[in-house]
Each structure stands twice: as C-alpha cells, then as structure tokens.
A and B are shown apart, each in its own frame.
Chain A
Amino acid sequence: MGLKGRAAITGVADYKNVRNYTGKRKFFLEQWAELTQMALADAGLSKHDVDGLCCAAIPESTMFAPATIAEYLGLQVNFAETVDLGGASSVSMIWRAAAAIEMGICEAVVCAAPGLPIPSNPNPLPKDPSRVYGSTSAKWGSPQAEYDVPYGNVAQNAGYALIAQRYAATYGYDERALAKIAVDQRTNAQGNPKAVFFGEPITIDDVLQSKMIADPLHILEIVMPCAGGSAVVVVSERLAKKCQHRPVYVTGFGERLTTRSVTYADDMTVSPVGPAAASAFAMSGKKPKDVDVLEAYDCYTITVLLTIEDSGFCHKGEGITFVKENGLTFNGSFPVNTHGGQLGAGQAAGMAGGMSQPVEGVRQIMGRANGRQVDNCNAALITGTGGIMSEQSAIILEGA
C-alpha cells in the first residue's frame, strides 16, 4: 500500500524568522516566486522542470489560489492543490506531491508556505467580523460560532490547556519535564542563526517562572509568532539523480482528521498523530527505533509530548519519563526539533510554521544542518498538527 519511495525532496528554501519584521513587505505571490526561485536553485533545477504545485490559502485571492500562483510564476502544471489542514498543511502538501509524482502525472512539485507581512493596503477593507477570533470561525451556522465562541473557548491556547489538564489528571504531570521540551529545543535553536531565539538559551526555571497563560501552559511553552516562510521541491527519481545534494525520499505518509474542536474528541489525551504515524511507518517499513530524528509540530510543549507517545516512541502515559530520560537536543539520545522547532525558532505566519519541520528534516538528512547536525542522520519522522490537535499528518523521510 502507498508510496514506493520514488519521490524525493531535493531542494529547500527558507527566510530568516524575525519577530519584529522591518524588511520589505511582500505579497504572498511575490514570496511564492522568491521561495520557488530559491528552492529550485538549491535543487539545481529550473522553472521549466516544475509541473506541479501545492499551496495553502493566499490572502490575495480567496479562491483559485493555485491558478493565481501558476499564472504569477508563469507555470503550467499537471497537478495543483490547495491544502486546508492548518498546521498540518505543509506535511500534507509534501505527501500529496509525492503521491502525484509516483502516479506519474508530474515530476517536480513546489510546496511553499509564505509568512512575511504583506504590504499595507492604501484602501484598507473593513475588518471581516467573522474572522475576529482568528482561526475559530465566527460565521453563522458554524458549530464553533455557536458552541465554542460564546463560552470563550476560542483560538488555540485554551484548547491545548484543556488537553494538558486532562492528560495530567489521567497520567500524572511533571511541569519540569514539559518545560524541558522547551529548554532542549531552545538549546537546538542556538545552532540555528535563522531562529528568533538564536543567542537566547533558557533554563527549566525560566520556563516555570514565565507568565502563566492558561493553566498549566506558561508563555515559554507556547510558540512565538514571527515573520518567515519556507518551501521544498519534491521531484521524481529521474530528476532526483540530477540533484546537487543527497536526495531525501518520501517513503511513507499518513493522515488522520477527527474533529475541529477538541471538546468532541473521543479521548482528549490521544492525538490522531497515532494512526497517521503508524501508516507512515508501515508504508516505509520502518519502526520508531529506526528514525534518527523527530521533527514534530510543536505549537505547545504538550503537543510534542503527545506526539512522542502516540507515534510509538514510548508507551502511552510514559512520555514524561521518556522526556526526562532522554536528551532532546541535536546531540542528545533522542533529537527532536533540531532547528529549535517553532518553540525555539518561532512560528512563521500563515501556514509557514509547519513547513519548518520538513525543511529541517531534509537539511539533517542532506547533512547540511551546520551547527546542529545529528550524526549519521538517515531517516526522520516529520509531523504536522492542525485544528486543536485534531488534524494530523506524518511523513517518513529517508536519505538515498
């Protein structure tokens, strides 16, 4: 079933993450052009090789995003997809690209996630009242508008806090272990000059003394929004052979969606990443012990803990012990989010935060993660998380 591992990522590109961006503002179409040009140059390919694209929504056009991007870049494609899976979008773009390539309908697919600020509109439109709660829909007829928003359960912090509290009551909790996730990832960010927290290591006490946002989540356990953006190029085996770097094959994937609001999850302490990762492992013939690095979507520390457990790196309920017994740094016994993750490197706007994990997995396997390189890195599990831990995707990447 599934992929044969005949599509590879051969080029990546990303902007430096910046908290207070003062550079030139660019439309998403401009960022698409720039990131594509950079990623193709990295892959040693030209624009004329590209015959597919995967995107998320772009602010310039609420419909027809792929055609608008193709037109702007001057592309003609056999495969185009807008992926609407929140933080899971980037990982899901990559497996869709790999599947389309293996089916033989295209040979080079660009997947990009811009996240720099766009220019200020000289004729600003009135703020859309249905978007006042961010990703929580306030539109009439939306279950969120009717049953989440009036009770204040909006945006992400409360939802993940509810998950963490239920986890604590079910399996026990150690706030120092959760804080260690943020600390180890911040240590990794010290090897990544593109991270917003480059040059700013932290300690467990720093995390525990930081402001409590929603019990039990401290502000240093929550991602820092920033400007950024990144892209990858996924190509056929034929084009991969022309690549100037070690090709990184997509050998397995999985995807699982359950609810929009985590309130209605069967068990709030269990992430749908379980079936997604199990599918990815089965397809690739790998087991959790076979991967050298985990690049896990990390909007919160609890997300990383549950991803470690439910992906099968330890038994359910034993994640806290696992985190305490393992170093999660790039030179530790279980490297996680070696670029710092979104907790340490920042969460670029749009859907770009979730593209940072596959880009880092590729750099590790290519052996290009200067300053944070994992020794003998040949295989990685990459996860994406959207909704409130309710949309999950996973891919296995392997070096040729």
Chain B
Amino acid sequence: MVSIRPLPIPTPNSEPFWNGLANHQVNLQQCNDCRAWVFYPRSHCNGCLSPNLTWRKVAGNGTLYTYTVARRPTAPQFIDETPQLIAVVELNEGVRLNSVMVNVLPEALFIGMPVKPVFHQQDSATLLYFEPA
C-alpha cells in the first residue's frame, strides 16, 4: 500500500446523506419551493436558491449515465483497485452522482444499464456504489 484510500469527511450540511448510507439508505434533499431534487447536499437549492430543503429517503435506483474502465490508477491511492470501474449514475429522481460499479465485468457494462445501490464499507465510511439491477 503506497497510501490509504481517501474517505469523505461529512460537513454539517452533508451528515444526513452520509449517516443515511451508514444505515444502508439513500437520503436526498428536495426543495420545498421548486420541488427539485438536489445532489450533492447543499444549504440552498441549486434550482432556485431556496433554503427550504427537506431530506427524503429514496430507493437509490437509477441508470448508468456513463462510465470508464480506468486501466491505470487515477491516483496512487487506487493502485490496488485497477481496473477502476468509475461510473456516473443518474438516479430516478434525475440527479447524477459519481460512483463505482461492482459485481459486474467491465465488458458487461453499458450506458443506460439499470442499476441499484450497494452500500460499500470502506474503512470507517460507507460509500454509495452500484451494481446491475
């Protein structure tokens, strides 16, 4: 191991998201005023700048918006994980997030693939990975 894997450090705004993952559920913010779903967690809605956001539990299902098979580590901290299946997932609520695909061969991946959440324990953090639905 050259370096340890970087972990997220929650902020006061994002704690409900990371605490949700630790409890194996996906929490997203929704704007009370324009109804937009908001990701990543924010103080204000990035649709209308309203501060009136409510945390809601969602299923976490979505589709694979795009992916790459990184055959060289994107940083030395990921050297033990090549090839990295780096993914961008679009949740059914419409927001997109960075993730990693698991339980699938690289050649089986395709854009538009239905995916479901995998709560991946990485040291002290729970990350939101995905697998084929």
Which residues of chain B are near A152, meaning CB under 8 Å? 70, 73-75, 78, 81, 84, 86, 100
Nearest CB of chain B from residue A281's CB, rounded to whole Å: 30
Which residues of chain A are near B86, meaning CB under 8 Å? 151-153, 158, 161-162, 214
- Chain A residues 105 to 133 lying within 8 A of chain B, measured CB to CB, are 132-133
Question: Which residue, of B5, B70, B110, has the highest number of chain A Cβ atoms within 10 A?
Answer: B70
A interface, size bucket: 20 to 34
Given contact pairs A147-B98, A263-B88, A141 touches B11 in the complex (Cβ within 8 A): yes
Say yes or no: is B61 at the interface (Cβ < 8 Å to chain A): no
Which residues of chain B are near A138, meaning CB under 8 Å? 6
Say yes or no: is A157 at the interface (Cβ < 8 Å to chain B): yes
Say yes or no: is A23 at the interface (Cβ < 8 Å to chain B): no
- Cα separation A180 to B72 with both chains bound (whole Å): 23
- Quick check: A263 and B14 within 8 Å, CB to CB? no
- Cα separation A161 to B81 with both chains bound (whole Å): 18
Closest to B85 in A: A152
Say yes or no: is B67 at the interface (Cβ < 8 Å to chain A): yes
- Cα separation A154 to B74 with both chains bound (whole Å): 6
Q: Mark A78-89, 1 if CB is under 8 A from B, else 0.
A: 000000000000
Nearest CB of chain A from residue B115's CB, rounded to whole Å: 14
Say yes or no: is B9 at the interface (Cβ < 8 Å to chain A): yes
Closest to A169 in B: B111
Given contact pairs A146-B9, A147-B98, A161-B68, A153 touches B127 in the complex (Cβ within 8 A): no
- Quick check: A153 and B11 within 8 Å, CB to CB? no
Say yes or no: is A73 at the interface (Cβ < 8 Å to chain B): no
Interface residues of B (CB under 8 A from A): 3, 5-11, 14, 40, 65-75, 77-78, 81, 84, 86, 88, 96-100, 110-112, 122, 125, 127
Given contacts A152-B70, A169-B112, A263-B88, 19 further A-B contacts (CB under 8 A): A145-B6, A147-B98, A150-B5, A150-B7, A151-B98, A151-B127, A152-B86, A158-B84, A166-B65, A211-B72, A213-B71, A214-B68, A214-B70, A214-B72, A215-B68, A215-B69, A215-B71, A263-B98, A264-B96
Interface residues of A (CB under 8 A from B): 132-133, 138, 140-141, 143, 145-155, 157-158, 161-163, 165-166, 169, 211-215, 261, 263-264, 268
